[in-house]
Structure 1
Amino acid sequence: MSRPAPPPVRDPGLQPERTRLAWRRTTLACAVAAVLAVREALRHGVSAVAAVTVALTALVLLTFLAAAHRRMTALDTPRPPALSRRAAAVVVGCTVGLALLGAAVVR
């Protein structure tokens, strides 16, 4: 009888680094969108609606930054876990939230 071959050693190559860079790019794009939304809200005068929009934009951006940081940290392990459904829902919610807040500010 022959012994089974040992499992191959995982060589992730540059895939984790590319994924980490994609998360950083997305985080930067969200930050720019949030800054532009805040700028637009403040340009038309400070009102209650503008203050709420700015606060919500900051909250959504901070939530996205936390989710992205957790994912980038998880990518440092030799075998990173798959993105959970909850984390994916948070990221999608933040992206949609920023889009909606941006549209509300531009109006």
Structure 2
Amino acid sequence: MTPGPAPARDAGLQGERTSLAWRRTALSASVAALVLTRYGIVRADVVLTGAGVALLAAAAATGYGAHLRHAQIDRAVTLGASPVNRAAVRTVAVGVALVGLLAVAAILLAR
């Protein structure tokens, strides 16, 4: 008796772990954004409040993007295709750079 075809799914579930890591990142960024927003409101500082709101929006986009990307990877792996998406890599890199620049600007303007 010959064994059937190998399963298309990876036994290590790397895609699921990566998706969960991005969701944890989004949750952590959301907490930081809420703390920053509250601090800005308490100090009546529009710049800090705006930075907190922007970070919260970025965290929400990250969480939603992680959900969409996981679905794409799941479909690609199920079909036996490559899950690599170069546009997603560029988008994440630009997003991280922008959030970093906004954080630095908020710190410098708060002085």
- Shorter-chain TM range is 0.5 to 0.7
Provide Cα deviations, 1:40-87, integer angstroms capped at 9, x if missing partner: 343252321022212211221122222211111123221354332222
Mind listing any 5+ residue stretches in structure 2 that lack a counterpart?
none
User: Per the alignment, in what secondary structure is the counterpart of residue 74 of structure 2?
Assistant: coil
Give aligned pairs, total: 99
Q: Which amino acid aligns with 2:99?
A: L
Q: Scaled by the length of structure 2, what TM-score is found?
A: 0.65
Distance 1:101 1:80 in 2: 37
Identical aligned residues as a percent: 15
3-state SS of 1:76 partner: helix
Give the corresponding residue for 2:20: 24
> How well do the aligned residues superpose, as a CA RMSD in angstroms?
2.7
What are the Cα deviations for residues 5-32 of structure 1, in whole angstroms up to 9, with x where unaligned? Answer: xxx65543224x2222122213312331
Q: Which residue of 2 aligns with 1:14?
A: 11
The structure whose residues are more often helix, as a share, is: 2
Q: TM-score, normalised by structure 1?
A: 0.66
Q: Which runs of 5+ in 1 are unaligned?
A: 1-7
**Distance change >3 Å, CA 106–CA 38, structure 1 → 2:** farther
Structure 1 position 106, deviation (Å)? 5.2
Q: Which has the higher contact order (CA 8 A, sep 6+)?
A: 1
